[in-house]
Amino acid sequence: MSVQLAWVIGTLIVYMLLIIVIGFWSTRYAVRTMEDYIMASRSLGYVVLFSTVFAANISAVTLIGLPGAAYHHGWIMWPYFVTAWGWSTPWFFWILSSRSWILGKKFGYMTQAEIIKNRWNSNALGYLFSLCILFYTVPYLMVGIQGGGNALAGLTNNAIPYWAGCLIVAVIVCAYLLVGGMRGAAWVNTLQAAIFLLGVVTIFFAVAYVFGGPTAATQQVMEKYPWLIDRSQFSWKVFYSYGFIVGLGTQMFPQLYMRMITGRTPKDLKRVVLIYPLAAIIVFFTMAYAGMWGHLAFPDLKGAQSDKILPMILAAYLHPALMAILGSAIFAALMSTMDSQLWAATVVLVRDFFMGGGKGRAVNESQMIVWARVITILLAAVAFVLSLYQIKGIQNIVNFAFAGFAVLIWPMTAALYWRRCTKQAVAASIVASQFVLLGLQYGFLPKAWSFGFLPGFPAIIVSLVVLVLVTYLTPAPENKGTREYFETFALARQSRG
């Protein structure tokens, strides 16, 4: 066994054992209820809440897919991600999570579909929303495993093959989720967030040092690959429509939504919203430049091969010890998001389908915890099998998922803020936007209908237009759910002063 391989495997073993121990340790504080297993009894403080929300969003996309995309397209991938995201995501996080937290505290809601379903007293609407969430979560879940396989293969020069890396990631994530539930995942995420925040900054300077420092590295790129510095890789329509999609889609990720409502108080939510964008922008900036500089070392990578660029640079140029430690930052990022997505899909299946939102049905909570664990294993197995096909590049999968979540933001916002909105309008909005998105994505609608924008952009516009039109074409809702929601919000305002 080579020194490099020994360092990678040794560091990986230590890291994996540590997060499993944290998962087991969290069980000391566990209560055998669904509320505790799924939502950590809504008791997460500010530091843990920030860490688990942040870790749930910084994923294989950021440390594998983003450097891979920057390898082909250059520094522009940084503003490509944060053009609208940097300012819109914090606002929408607060807009959605503040009222969702109030409802969750009073009615015990855990998923987005529960809020939709009970606002309009419609099981069918809840199921429709849940199916959309699952449809876009499972491909995104596959990204985490795919990123793990690529990272291990790149760090070990394929001594650990891609399939084995995928399997290792899937098994370890399942282990601490099954044991610790949401609390265990949140505690593990706190460690992971610290590792990859420190790791990405170190990787940035380590990769820059290989090429003479940040200025020298960028200058070499300008001389040898000038197209990586200009904006010629994207039309303005593609560039800005992606920012629009990301800016609206992030807060609709079920894994982020569920974590935002596990906080102790709304004050904790405000603190997370304020600091979250700054930390994430730092990560995007460092990883985009590291990926672009990677073109200097490995100029001939094609297509999805570039997803391995970061681990390839670390393995080729850094001391094995440093390379292995920084490699753990990559694993911390991709595993922290994979565990949250796996958990979100499990909760959606258990709460929205098996328990029917937890209302009007006697539930054996111990039995449902067992079912949640079984579903977690099955979903991980499905994602592992899908990851073996290495479908497209990581960035392509993510672009599709982002758009799928983004079109759901208008129905969700209407459920929380628009009393006049009707269930017919929400159903029509969801169906119409999904038809446009899938039609443009897969070609059964003319590509010209996107007018040069990414498919998600016209789908988001259609979602909003249909929601407004159908609302005013149908009778105003008069039901228990609507009355309860807005009475609850009014009381919450009064209690705040």
Instruction: Return the pLDDT at 414.
Output: 96
Number of H helices, E strands in the chain: 22, 0
294-350: pLDDT as tens digits: 999 999 888 778 878 888 888 888 877 777 777 777 777 777 777 788 888 888 888
Confidence of residue 250 (pLDDT cuts 50, 70, 90): confident
The answer to whether residue 190 scores a pLDDT higher than 80 is: yes
Confidence of residue 436 (pLDDT cuts 50, 70, 90): very high
The answer to whether residue 443 scores a pLDDT higher than 90 is: no
Please spell the DSSP secondary structure of 428-487, one letter per residue.
HHHHHHHHHHHHHHHTSS-GGGGTTS-THHHHHHHHHHHHHHHHHHSPPP-SHHHHHHHH
CA angle 417, 356, 400 (to 5 degrees): 65
CATH code, domain with 261: 1.20.1730.10
Residues above pLDDT 90, as percent of the chain: 25
Q: Find the range with the poorest average confidence among 116-130, 363-377, 421-435.
A: 363-377
Residue 300 has phi, psi (to 5 degrees) of: -115, 20
Domain with 298 in it: 3-496
The answer to whether residue 382 scores a pLDDT higher than 90 is: no
Confidence of residue 147 (pLDDT cuts 50, 70, 90): confident
What is the chain's Cα-based Rg? 22
**What does the alpha-carbon distance between residue 44 and residue 50 come to, in Å, rounded to a whole number?**
9
Of the candidates 215, 244, 199, the one whose C-alpha atom is nearest the C-alpha of residue 80 is 244
Instruction: Return the pLDDT at 172.
Output: 84
Residue 44: strand pairing partners = 263
Confidence of residue 272 (pLDDT cuts 50, 70, 90): confident
User: Which tokens sit at 155?
Assistant: 């760090």
Across the chain, mean pLDDT equals 83
Report the SS3 class of residue 300: coil
User: Which tokens sit at 78?
Assistant: 């940084």
Taking the alpha carbons of 421, 401, 247, 267 in that order, is the dihedral positive or negative?
A: positive
**What does the alpha-carbon distance between residue 329 and residue 39 come to, in Å, rounded to a whole number?**
26
Residue 263: strand pairing partners = 44
Tokens 């119409």 sit on residue: 432
As a residue count, the chain comes to 497
State the Cα torsion 197-199-202-204 to the nearest 10°.
Answer: -80
Which pTM value belongs to this model?
A: 0.83
Contact predicate 408/137, CB 8 Å: no
- Residues whose CB is less than 8 angstroms from the CB of residue 396 and which lie 6 or more positions away in sequence, other chains included: none
Of the candidates 389, 316, 387, 319, the one whose C-alpha atom is nearest the C-alpha of residue 155 is 316
CA angle 32, 35, 37 (to 5 degrees): 55
Q: Return the half-sphere exposure (C-beta side, CA atoms, 13 A cut-off) of residue 377.
A: 8
Number of domains within the chain: 1
User: Which tokens sit at 255?
Assistant: 């894994």
Q: Which residue has the higher pLDDT, 161 or 28?
A: 161
168-177: pLDDT as tens digits: 888 888 887 7
**What does the alpha-carbon distance between residue 362 and residue 81 come to, in Å, rounded to a whole number?**
45
For the segment 165-194, the average pLDDT, to the nearest whole number, is 82
Report the SS3 class of residue 263: strand
**What does the alpha-carbon distance between residue 416 and residue 321 come to, in Å, rounded to a whole number?**
51
Instruction: Return the pLDDT at 29.
Output: 72
Residue 177 has phi, psi (to 5 degrees) of: -70, -45
